[in-house]
């Protein structure tokens, strides 16, 4: 047991979130460099070289230079075993990010120093707030011209409603970026532009008390500005409070440049000291202790066709307690079936390694023969554990899907069903028509493009999408009236989801209230459960 406790306590599992282009994928790669997981960071956009970001595996991601799905990456550093959940930054893929945050114990928020808090950052932050998970802020791109540092902190506090505590402080920005001041160690760490894609770089550490050496390193004017800002900072910023950080009430702020690799290792070292071991999770109103309880996990993501050669489906599971061992029997709680998890894997983007063991905090990928759904619990056969389901986002855009070649009906139904089971899209059927008429709902319109691309490239099916005017969807929680007798408005449409649950679509928001008024005992919800 002590070995299990030791292994679990070494784990740190966090998600990286940001607005697109804030430098999240570059930061992830630099972490991997420090852990020795890769030797040379890829060119994220694929411009400088033919390399692609390690965490981007899907063809459309390599072509577009954006992250569409979450990737899971594991590496060792400084005695810790670190699991990084890299998430899509684009708001059209926020549902994937939301589910990924359910599997993380903390989040690293990457902010572009020149752009500050952007719309997507706000949305993702709300999700972190709902879960109460600790948030660590890395203000990136300090090697470029950035906004005023105090204004950036002020914006984070105002926009996101969380107090900030700078752990280090930038000395200049852009061409005049000289380094950072470490408030805890009271030292100045000078900046040197490291070679792209490597971790080597020369930095000098100078005690702040050695004023002459600081002046020589950063210049007279910069030194004076720094000393003035330190004085202001000590009087104005929130006190460092580890308990408040771990409760998600205070965010430690770090400055640096992921591209040139300055400040990344400093951030990583502090982050590992501040973040927690794997957290306990709720099951049936009871906290499941990661160390004391036997193996349990939940499915937070399903991905089809990660390996084109095998056309397989992988269910990603976050282990919540205990140890997984090869060939152990586990219970799939939702079906009650006892089974063996087929060849669990650790997945580094599209590379795989078969695992003999894994511990609470780890993320494993398991071959899914079609029985797993997002939110499912897996545990030892005798355990009585059922983790809470993962709410699904209400789609905001809808389209009718038609296949161009009707002879490919089988591939079409298989493809669209598998992609829907991943949670990236939601598919619905016209009420009383079965799979003849399929309606797709998405959170962001870019998902339509991904759906079309994947059906063509992975299932060899061409489709035509016809946009529908509906903008509001409601799940029927309970009703005293049969669905076909519900009295709605002229802009209402009755549909059902893959699990035959009835739903209502509306063009206008006011129609929702009117339909509730017209049907006694009708209860509607904006959220479904995966």
3-class DSSP state for residue 194? coil
Q: Check the CA dihedral 94-100-104-108 and report its sign.
A: negative
Residue at a domain's end among 334, 354, 379:
379
Asked whether residue 358 falls in the same domain as residue 415, the answer is no
Range 427-434 contact pairs with CB under 8 angstroms and sequence separation of 24 or more: 427/401, 427/497, 427/498, 428/495, 428/496, 428/497, 428/503, 429/495, 429/496, 429/497, 430/495, 431/483, 431/484, 431/494, 431/495, 431/496, 431/502, 432/484
Q: For tokens 């752990």, what's the residue?
A: 167
Domain-located, residue 499: yes
Determine the Cα–Cα distance for residues 496 and 483; give it in Å rounded to an integer: 10
Domain-located, residue 295: yes
Q: Which range of residues forms the domain containing residue 43?
A: 2-174+234-274
Determine the Cα–Cα distance for residues 474 and 289; give it in Å rounded to an integer: 36
Phi, psi values for residue 377, rounded to 5°: -105, 140
> 224 CB contacts (<8 Å, ≥6 apart)?
none
3-class DSSP state for residue 193? coil
CATH of the domain at 522: 3.30.70.3280
CATH of the domain at 345: 2.40.30.10
Residue 480 tokens, joined = 């005293």
Residue at a domain's end among 251, 274, 297:
274
Residue 292 tokens, joined = 């004391």
Q: What count of other Cβ atoms lies within 10 Å of the Cβ of residue 240? A: 15
Q: Note the pLDDT of residue 352.
A: 66
Q: Contact 495/426 with Cβ under 8 angstroms?
A: no
Residue at a domain's end among 355, 379, 403:
379
Residue 521 tokens, joined = 């005992």
Asked whether residue 353 falls in the same domain as residue 462, the answer is no
Residue 180 tokens, joined = 């950072």
Asked whether residue 396 falls in the same domain as residue 445, the answer is yes
CATH of the domain at 97: 3.40.50.300
3-class DSSP state for residue 361? coil
Q: Note the pLDDT of residue 393.
A: 67
Task: Give first-to-last CA distance, the chain, whole Å.
Answer: 34
Q: Note the pLDDT of residue 294.
A: 94
Asked whether residue 457 falls in the same domain as residue 356, the answer is no
Domain-located, residue 179: no
Determine the Cα–Cα distance for residues 69 and 72; give it in Å rounded to an integer: 10
Q: How many separate domains does the chain show?
A: 3
Q: Note the pLDDT of residue 350.
A: 53
Per-residue pLDDT tens listing for the chain (530 residues): 568 999 999 999 998 887 777 777 788 888 878 776 554 444 333 333 334 444 444 454 444 443 334 467 788 899 999 988 876 544 544 566 777 888 899 999 999 888 888 776 776 777 777 778 899 999 999 988 888 999 999 998 988 888 999 999 999 888 888 899 999 999 999 887 655 545 555 678 898 999 899 888 888 998 999 999 999 888 777 889 999 999 989 999 999 988 888 888 899 999 999 999 999 998 988 999 999 999 999 998 877 665 555 556 778 889 999 999 888 899 999 999 999 886 776 655 456 677 788 999 998 888 887 788 888 999 999 998 999 877 666 788 899 998 888 888 888 888 888 778 777 788 888 876 655 678 998 877 777 887 888 888 888 899 899 999 998 888 888 767 677 788 889 999 988 887 778 889 999 989 999 999 999 888 888 766 65
């Amino acid at each position: 047991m002590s070995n299990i406790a030791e292994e679990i306590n070494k784990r740190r599992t966090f998600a990286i979130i940001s607005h697109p282009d804030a430098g999240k994928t570059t930061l992830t790669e630099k972490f991997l460099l420090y852990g020795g997981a890769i030797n040379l960071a890829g060119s994220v956009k694929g411009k400088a070289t033919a390399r692609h970001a390690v965490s981007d595996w899907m063809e459309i991601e390599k072509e577009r230079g954006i992250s569409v799905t979450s990737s899971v990456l594991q590496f060792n550093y400084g005695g810790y075993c670190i699991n990084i959940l890299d998430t899509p930054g684009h708001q059209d893929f926020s549902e994937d990010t939301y589910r990924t945050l359910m599997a993380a114990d903390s989040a690293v928020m990457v902010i572009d120093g020149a752009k500050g808090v952007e719309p997507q950052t706000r949305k993702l932050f709300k999700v972190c707030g709902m879960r109460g998970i600790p948030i660590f802020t890395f203000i990136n791109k300090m090697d470029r011209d950035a906004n005023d540092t105090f204004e950036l902190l002020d914006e984070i506090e105002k926009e996101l409603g969380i107090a900030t505590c700078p752990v280090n402080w930038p000395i200049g920005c852009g061409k005049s970026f000289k380094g950072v001041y470490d408030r805890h160690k009271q030292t100045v760490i000078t900046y040197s532009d490291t070679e792209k894609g490597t971790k080597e770089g020369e930095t000098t550490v100078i005690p702040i008390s050695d004023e002459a050496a600081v002046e020589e390193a950063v210049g007279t004017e910069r030194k004076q500005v720094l000393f003035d800002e330190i004085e202001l900072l000590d009087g104005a910023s929130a006190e460092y409070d580890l308990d408040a950080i771990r409760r998600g009430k205070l965010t430690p702020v770090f400055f640096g440049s992921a591209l040139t690799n300055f400040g990344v290792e400093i951030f990583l070292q502090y982050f590992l000291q501040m973040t927690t071991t794997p957290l306990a999770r709720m099951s049936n109103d009871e906290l499941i202790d990661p160390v004391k309880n036997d193996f349990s996990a939940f499915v937070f993501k399903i991905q089809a066709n990660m390996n084109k050669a095998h056309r397989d489906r992988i269910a990603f599971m976050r282990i919540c307690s205990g140890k997984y061992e090869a060939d152990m029997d586990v219970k799939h709680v939702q079906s009650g079936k006892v089974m063996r998890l087929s060849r669990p894997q650790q997945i580094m983007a599209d590379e795989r390694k078969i695992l003999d063991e894994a511990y609470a905090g780890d993320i494993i990928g398991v071959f899914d023969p079609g029985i797993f759904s997002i939110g499912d619990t897996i545990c030892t056969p005798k355990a009585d554990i059922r983790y809470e389901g993962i709410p699904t986002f209400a789609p905001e855009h809808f389209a009718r899907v038609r296949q161009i070649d009707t002879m490919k009906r089988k591939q079409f139904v298989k493809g669209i069903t598998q992609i829907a089971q991943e949670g990236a899209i939601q598919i619905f059927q016209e009420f009383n028509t079965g799979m003849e008429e399929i309606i797709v709902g998405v959170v962001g319109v870019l998902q339509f493009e991904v759906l079309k691309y994947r059906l063509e490239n992975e299932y060899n099916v061409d489709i035509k999408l016809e946009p529908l005017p509906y903008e509001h969807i409601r799940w029927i929680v309970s009703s005293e009236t049969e669905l076909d007798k519900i009295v709605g408005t002229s802009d209402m449409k009755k549909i059902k989801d893959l699990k035959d649950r009835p739903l209502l679509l509306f063009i206008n928001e006011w129609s929702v209230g009117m339909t509730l008024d017209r049907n006694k005992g009708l209860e509607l919800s904006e959220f479904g459960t995966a």
